[in-house]
């Protein structure tokens, strides 16, 4: 039985896959298994997965006939994982070579059920910077609730936003199984997984060492037009409501709905004006106005005035708050060359 199961969803990843696997194989910590979940790939990824497994018996491959999305792939990995602890790795990213050893030793030294780390953001133009998780230290259940659960619940506007990256942690498989945690959806799925996991965790140890290399890929799902974004976001809010009720989180951030809706609205606006949306600029403007008039979004706009956003988002928020939708459309036309 391996100590750590590393789960990697694989989809159309022939360019990145070998380097991703190599970053696990070359770990200084050797007691792991690597689960490669081929999510219905049509490129050379399945063959590469099989070739990697043939070279190392710690690597297991699961081939899905049809693409089911990252959540289904991760859930399959969770069902098949044999390790006491779970780590997630995106196929276009890498672990630093001492990542698993550092996290494992930190867990043993502190007795924590979960450990986390900083990560290195890497851009296509060569720029890079370290993004911390939290200050190094050990956090009890109350500290976890305030430093992770509360920000994920209702601090989604003021920069820097606490990111719901699941690959920054070494998770307890016992907690995941006892709480019956799974992923759902193709966007924002990691935020809800983290929220519920940390409602059940008791002790978190954090290192400020950047142990994960996150490549900001311009072609990733977060940068493409999502035709069904609003449907995805509405389902996200339904599930978030259920978590708030289940774990009695309302008092942590009383305006969490308005805060989250504002954050979702800003993403929805950017999505509406994305290059992949084929409708006219005028139609996009009408769609944005209609979205802002929805009761949930209108309530958020009326009750909260966002401050402390990144400059671009702050400009968009100010224009929405003032009802300047024509100017907003012209701004996006210039930005995205619509």
The domain segmentation of the chain, as residue ranges, is 4-215, 255-336
190 is written with which tokens? 């990691």
Give backbone dihedrals phi and psi of 118, rounded to 5 degrees, phi first.
Answer: -75, 170
Per-residue pLDDT tens over the stretch 134-192: 999 999 999 999 999 999 999 999 889 999 999 999 999 999 999 999 999 877 889 99
The phi and psi torsions of 42 (rounded to 5 degrees) equal -115, 5
Instruction: From 282, 69, 291, select the one nearest 182 (Cα to Cα).
Output: 69
* 198-221 residue pLDDT tens: 999 999 999 999 999 999 866 555
Distance of alpha carbon 110 from alpha carbon 272, whole angstroms? 46
Query: Which H or E element spans position 51?
Result: helix 45-55
CA distance 317 to 230: 18
Predicted pLDDT of residue 223 = 59
Please, what sign has the CA dihedral across residues 102, 34, 152, 290? positive
Return left, alpha or beta for 69; rule: phi > 0 is left, psi -120 to 50 is alpha, else beta.
Answer: left
Average pLDDT of the residues of the chain = 95
Check if CATH label 3.40.50.9100 holds for domain 4-215: no
């Amino acid at each position: 039985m391996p100590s750590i199961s590393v789960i990697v969803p694989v989809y159309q990843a022939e360019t990145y896959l070998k380097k991703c696997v190599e970053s696990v194989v070359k770990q200084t910590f050797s007691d792991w298994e690597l689960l490669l979940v081929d999510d219905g790939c049509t490129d050379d990824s399945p063959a590469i997965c099989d070739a990697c497994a043939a070279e190392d018996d710690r690597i297991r491959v699961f081939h899905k006939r049809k693409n089911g999305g990252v959540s289904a792939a991760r859930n399959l990995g969770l069902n098949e994982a044999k390790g006491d602890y779970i780590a997630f790795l995106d196929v276009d990213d890498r672990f630093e070579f001492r990542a698993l050893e550092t996290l494992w030793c930190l867990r043993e030294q502190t007795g924590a059920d979960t450990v986390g780390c900083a990560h290195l953001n890497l851009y296509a133009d060569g720029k890079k910077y370290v993004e911390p998780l939290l200050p190094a230290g050990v956090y009890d259940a109350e500290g976890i609730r305030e430093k992770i659960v509360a920000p994920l619940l209702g601090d989604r506007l003021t920069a820097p936003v606490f990111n719901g990256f699941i690959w920054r942690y070494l998770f307890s498989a016992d907690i995941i199984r006892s709480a019956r945690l799974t992923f759902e959806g193709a966007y924002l799925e990691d935020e809800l997984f983290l929220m519920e996991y940390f409602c059940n965790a008791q002790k978190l140890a954090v290192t400020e060492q950047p142990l994960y290399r996150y490549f900001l890929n311009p072609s990733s799902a977060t940068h493409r037009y999502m035709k069904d974004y609003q449907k995805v976001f509405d389902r996200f809010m339904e599930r978030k409501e259920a978590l708030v009720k289940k774990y009695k989180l309302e008092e942590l951030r009383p305006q969490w709905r308005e805060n989250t809706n504002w954050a979702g609205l800003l993403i929805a606006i950017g999505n509406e004006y994305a290059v992949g949306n084929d409708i006219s600029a005028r139609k996009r403007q009408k769609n944005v106005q209609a979205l802002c008039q929805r009761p949930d979004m209108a309530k958020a706009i009326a009750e909260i005035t966002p401050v402390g956003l990144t400059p671009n988002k702050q400009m968009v928020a100010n224009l929405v708050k003032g009802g300047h939708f024509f100017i907003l459309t012209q701004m996006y036309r210039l930005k995205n060359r619509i």
